[in-house]
Amino acid sequence: MQYRSNPLEELGIKHGATKQAHNYLQHYWTHLRDLREEVRSVLEIGVQTGASLRMWEEFFPNALIHGIDIDPDCKRHEKGRVLVHIGDQNDDEFLASVLHRGPFDLVVDDGSHLPHHQIKAFETFFPQLSQHGIFVMEDTGGVVSDFNNVVINALRNLTDHVNYWPPGFPCAEWPHLASFSGDVPWITRNVVGVAFYRWLVFVFRGDNPGDNPNLVPKPAPVA
Ligand SMILES: C[S@@+](CC[C@H](N)C(=O)[O-])C[C@H]1O[C@@H](n2cnc3c(N)ncnc32)[C@H](O)[C@@H]1O
């Protein structure tokens, strides 16, 4: 098999998005290609030249594109379906003012790249995604001097939630394949997948385990 370019990469080149240079767009394409018409609301932390916001605007024809940046000059990139909110991604009051624009179908953190900001961005925005929304963390690990992989390790822990099995139940017991009983944390119910790429992580929100309707046991036939 050969690697082929895709329409999102072409838009990345057209608008000069750094995501294209980082080779991230092949992974965005994999996860977003079937959602173009469906996505209504995108939020990206980190506006800078506005290149990626313009790319998203063209890629998602039905979406409002929100950008966050600490640099007031970025306000000039607000036009068409692009809205720019000026503030610090570490400021709770500012974040609350943006949150009420949600729910968001896609949130991308390409802002300060400081590990504690990245974790805060996930904790703040993941719960504000729409039910099948996607959170993307760009630039993780050594590429932003997180040599101890603090952020990667925090996100790696999510895989335990994806693979949750109620303690004490025999494996493959049908009701637990299709629904959880008892006190299961919100994050366990809502993270349905995590995809790690080089310096890039996607976290998928959904309804765990209800997103697998084929496993719902058929009701007993009425006699
Ligand atoms: C990598 S650039 C964004 C590039 C843009 N997402 C793109 O792909 O075209 C990072 C941006 O984050 C902004 N930034 C840095 N620290 C921030 C903070 N604490 N809060 C909000 N934005 C911040 C910078 O001003 C800069 O414009």
- Edge-to-edge strand ranges of the sheet holding 82-86: 82-86, 64-69, 41-45, 104-109, 129-138, 200-205, 191-197
Q: What is the pLDDT of residue 208?
A: 86
What would the pLDDT profile of 63-77 be if each residue is shown by its tens digit? 999 999 999 999 999
Q: What is the pLDDT of residue 183?
A: 83
Q: What is the pLDDT of residue 210?
A: 75
Q: How much is the CA Rg of the chain, to the nearest whole Å?
A: 19
Confidence check: pLDDT of 169 > 80: no
List CB contacts of 101: < 8 A, sequence separation 6 or more. Answer: 41, 43, 66, 83
Pocket test for ligand 1, best of 88, 89, 107, 140 (most atoms within 8 A of CB): 89
Amino acid at 198: R
- Which residue has its alpha carbon closest to ligand 1 atom 11? 46
Q: How far, CA to CA in Å, does 18 sit from each of 14, 53, 110, 118? A: 11, 11, 10, 19
Whether the CB of 141 sits within 6 Å of ligand 1? no
Q: What is the pLDDT of residue 20?
A: 82
Whether the CB of 20 sits within 6 Å of ligand 1? no
Q: What is the pLDDT of residue 4?
A: 76
- Which residue has its alpha carbon closest to ligand 1 atom 16? 112
Spatial distance between the Cα atoms of 75 and 70, rounded to a whole number of angstroms = 10
- Cα 187 to middle of ligand 1, angstroms: 27
Whether the CB of 19 sits within 6 Å of ligand 1? yes
Global confidence as pTM: 0.93
- Cα 50 to middle of ligand 1, angstroms: 10
**Domains along the sequence of the chain with CATH:** 7-215 (3.40.50.150)
Confidence check: pLDDT of 217 > 60: no
Up-side HSE of residue 45: CA atoms within 13 Å toward CB? 30
Confidence check: pLDDT of 26 > 70: yes
Percentage above 90 pLDDT, the chain: 73
